[in-house]
Structure 1
Amino acid sequence: MHHNRSRLLPALIIALILVGACSSEASSPGGSPLPLRPVAEIVLTGDNSRFDYESLDPERRLLFIAHLGASEVIEVDVHTRQVVRTVPNLSQAHGVLVVPELRRVYVTATGDNRLVILDEDTGTVIGQAPTGDYPDGIAYDPKRGAVWTTNESGGTETVVDAGTAQVRGTVDLGGEVCNVAYDPVADQMLVAVQGKGDLAAIDPETLDVIRRVPTPGCRSGHGLALDSEARLAFVACEDNATLLTVDLATWQTACSNTVGQQPDVLAYDQGAHRLYVAAESGTVSVFDQHDKHLTEVGSGHLADGAHVVIVDPTTGHTYYPVPTGNDGHPALLEQAPEG
């Protein structure tokens, strides 16, 4: 055990040096104006309670928003900027993921510890599966047709057949877990394990944990996004307002940046190489990625409750559901990129 620990020490020291080097170049949030231009404010249905994740079908221009506080999913046509329908009775709807090729929408009903499957065309419930405790984020493995749910307090991942809704297996990660993402280049699942302070890589075929990467300088890794082409993982650390960039080729922390208090949801525009970080404080931070390094292009308070973001890969527009818009109703803020 002492021998293994001594071998790990140099790698950790190198990682800490890299974090420090990048941190010195990062500006504080709010240091430059947000590179965003308001486009529209779409009035949403329901009450002024908390929203959570959202998922976009870019071809059909349909956006699905988890209205956690109202236990419902709101479907919005972002082309016409109109609410299409509201799907009720989804207990504490938390995570939501549309899989366009299946015409299905997957929702984690946190209050019931289950995954609910909706028909994308009608909004009707067509299946459900049990999960672990407090299902939160969702990811889709297209190679195996599997949906992964992150069971935050349960410390596990539940793997569900996307077609039959049968549970294929469970992965125990030994501590509170947050977001999960599928890396198509390496054919692996990545999970931010805040209970262990690391990033876990899982073989989606065998469901074995194949690597655990320490995330030094990150307290409570929560949000997760990937640039698979550049071999980067972005981890938002909610307890110390930090964003880590992990190089998936070397498994070392390549960069650290300061973001808004309690960063939550990340959205990455693969075409523009631009990352959006939405925080519980309502601060949005925007970074451009070049040569595996992030440069902040703007950061500032967008709106109270703007802790959720998604980017439309076709237009580059970003969408932020907030409990209270200008007229007092819940609203979806549409922003266009500038700069």
Structure 2
Amino acid sequence: MRAGLSGLALLAAPFATLFDPLPAGAAEAVVTVQGANAVVILDLDAGTVAARIPVPGSPAGIALSPDRRIAYVTRPDGPGLAILDLDARRVTGTLPLPGGPLGIACNPRSGAVYVADWYGKRLFVLVPKEGTLVPDGEIAVGASPSGIAVTPDGSTLLVANREADTVSVVDAASRRETKAIPVGKHPFGITLDPDGKRAYTANVLSDDVSVIDLAEGREIGRVNTGERPYVVALAKGRGFVTDQYTASVTVFDLASLERLAAVDVGDHPEGIAASRDGTRLYVANWGANTVSVIDSGTLSVTKEIAVGDGPRAFGDFLR
């Protein structure tokens, strides 16, 4: 079994969903493959590996720039960040960061990048400048920040604080936490709906999903899941949650919060994302070394793509 910051399956370690324009079906997936020290780019139409980019430091978290041409990848064993040109298929720069960089998100308006320090109570703020990123301060949040989400207008950050059992609401302009919302036990991945009205956290140790109403600033419901839920994706009025210990994806109705089904996928699923048209879900199976493709209509796995040792894809990984 794997452990430590570079292997958080047992400690509960991915997901921030952004809502930048994507092709209807999403042409490529950009998957961090931690054990192989690489980022793999998948051609989703062909179901094949289109490119493999070496990225040392146990790459885990990922965010894409607003134009979807640059990937920002956390390297917990760097520790630091790698910057990838996705068209050129290469690393263009690295940036050292202290602590335990893991969760990451990009502001869809400003292009600022936020990196969670797993070992601390802070986010690092990085801003684009002359084709790279430069450090631009920190934001205080709860203990062991994990997943980060940014509202579509770029004004608000939401941070799942694993050890605090809270979600921090942060004003992006002032860079201050305005509220800490109690949720389930050990929230890890956090996902926003496209309107920025509700957020969903996967609570690893209480085996459920917390539903947060952002206007009310509180949890309004819970959904039971399989064992060790990690990340939530949304598609066609339903939520899809990766359950690590049951090797499944829990499906629930977003309106009623009723649990509908469980779809079997590979061992230790972590990152998950939905195509923009909502017809397909892509699941990174950390233990099985594959990406599963789920048809959202039939709730069946239509393809398994081999990607290498330890895919994480914790974050925004479709382009």
TM-score by length of 1: 0.76
- Tell me which amino acid in the other structure corresponds to 1:93: P
Q: 1:173 aligns with which of 135, 141, 152?
A: 141
**Is the partner of 1:90 in helix, strand or coil?**
coil
CA contact (8 A) 1:53 1:66 kept: no
**Is the partner of 1:69 in helix, strand or coil?**
coil
Q: 1:337 aligns with which of 296, 301, 306?
A: 296
Instruction: Report the Cα distance in structure 1 between the residues aligned to 2:136 and 2:144, rounded to whole angstroms.
Output: 21
Q: Which residue is equivalent to 1:312? A: 275
Instruction: Report the Cα distance in structure 2 between the residues aligned to 1:220 and 1:69, rounded to whole angstroms.
Output: 24
Pairing 1:251–2:217 present: yes
CA contact (8 A) 2:278 2:296 kept: no
Q: 2:161 aligns with which of 178, 193, 196?
A: 193
Q: Which residue is equivalent to 2:241? A: 277
CA contact (8 A) 1:155 1:176 kept: yes
- Tell me which amino acid in the other structure corresponds to 1:286: V
Map residues 284-303 of structure 1 onto 2, 5 A cutoff: 284-290=249-255, 293-303=256-266
Report the CA distance between 1:66 and its aligned residue: 0.8
Instruction: Report the Cα distance in structure 1 between the residues aligned to 2:240 and 2:56, rounded to whole angstroms.
Output: 28
Moved more, 315-324 or 149-158: 315-324
Q: Which residue is equivalent to 1:125? A: 91
Larger radius of gyration: 1
Pairing 1:92–2:58 present: yes
Map residues 16-35 of structure 1 onto 2, 5 A cutoff: none
**Is the partner of 2:262 in helix, strand or coil?**
strand
Where structure 2 has 5 or more consecutive residues not aligned to the other structure, the ranges are: 1-6, 299-319
CA contact (8 A) 2:282 2:291 kept: yes
CA contact (8 A) 2:142 2:168 kept: no
CA contact (8 A) 1:50 1:68 kept: no
Instruction: Report the Cα distance in structure 1 between the residues aligned to 2:194 and 2:27, rounded to whole angstroms.
Output: 24
CA contact (8 A) 1:175 1:196 kept: yes
Deviations 1:109-164 (A, max 9, x none): 11112111100112222223233421112111122220111111122111111343
- Tell me which amino acid in the other structure corresponds to 1:82: T
The change in CA–CA distance for 1:145 and 1:323 in structure 2 (over 3 A counts) is closer
- Tell me which amino acid in the other structure corresponds to 1:178: S
Report the CA distance between 1:186 and its aligned residue: 7.5
Report the CA distance between 1:255 and its aligned residue: 0.7
Q: If each structure's helix is expressed as a fraction of its own residues, which one has the higher value?
A: 1
**Is the partner of 2:67 in helix, strand or coil?**
helix
Instruction: Report the Cα distance in structure 2 between the residues aligned to 1:85 and 1:185, rounded to whole angstroms.
Output: 32
Instruction: Report the Cα distance in structure 2 between the residues aligned to 1:230 and 1:331, rounded to whole angstroms.
Output: 31
Q: Which residue is equivalent to 1:9? A: none
Q: Which residue is equivalent to 2:132? A: 164
CA contact (8 A) 2:154 2:172 kept: no
The change in CA–CA distance for 1:334 and 1:99 in structure 2 (over 3 A counts) is same
- Tell me which amino acid in the other structure corresponds to 1:200: S
Deviations 1:194-241 (A, max 9, x none): 2222111111122111111222xx111111111152611111110110
Instruction: Report the Cα distance in structure 2 between the residues aligned to 1:208 and 1:300, rounded to whole angstroms.
Output: 39
Q: Which residue is equivalent to 1:265? A: 231
Q: Which residue is equivalent to 1:61? A: 27
CA contact (8 A) 2:108 2:154 kept: no
Q: Which residue is equivalent to 1:135? A: 101
Report the CA distance between 1:50 and its aligned residue: 9.4
**Is the partner of 2:32 in helix, strand or coil?**
strand
Instruction: Report the Cα distance in structure 1 between the residues aligned to 2:108 and 2:196, rounded to whole angstroms.
Output: 20
Instruction: Report the Cα distance in structure 1 between the residues aligned to 2:286 and 2:96, rounded to whole angstroms.
Output: 29
The change in CA–CA distance for 1:324 and 1:261 in structure 2 (over 3 A counts) is closer
Percent identity among equivalent residues? 22
Report the CA distance between 1:332 and its aligned residue: 2.1
Report the CA distance between 1:57 and its aligned residue: 8.2
Deviations 1:67-124 (A, max 9, x none): 1112111100101222111111331101112225151111001111211110011222
RMSD: 2.5
CA contact (8 A) 1:132 1:154 kept: no
The change in CA–CA distance for 1:285 and 1:155 in structure 2 (over 3 A counts) is same
Q: 1:322 aligns with which of 285, 303, 308?
A: 285
Report the CA distance between 1:184 and its aligned residue: 2.4
Where structure 1 has 5 or more consecutive residues not aligned to the other structure, the ranges are: 1-48
Q: Which residue is equivalent to 1:76? A: 42
Instruction: Report the Cα distance in structure 1 between the residues aligned to 2:73 and 2:201, rounded to whole angstroms.
Output: 23
Instruction: Report the Cα distance in structure 2 between the residues aligned to 1:331 and 1:197, rounded to whole angstroms.
Output: 30
Instruction: Report the Cα distance in structure 1 between the residues aligned to 2:34 and 2:232, rounded to whole angstroms.
Output: 18
Instruction: Report the Cα distance in structure 2 between the residues aligned to 1:100 and 1:174, rounded to whole angstroms.
Output: 27
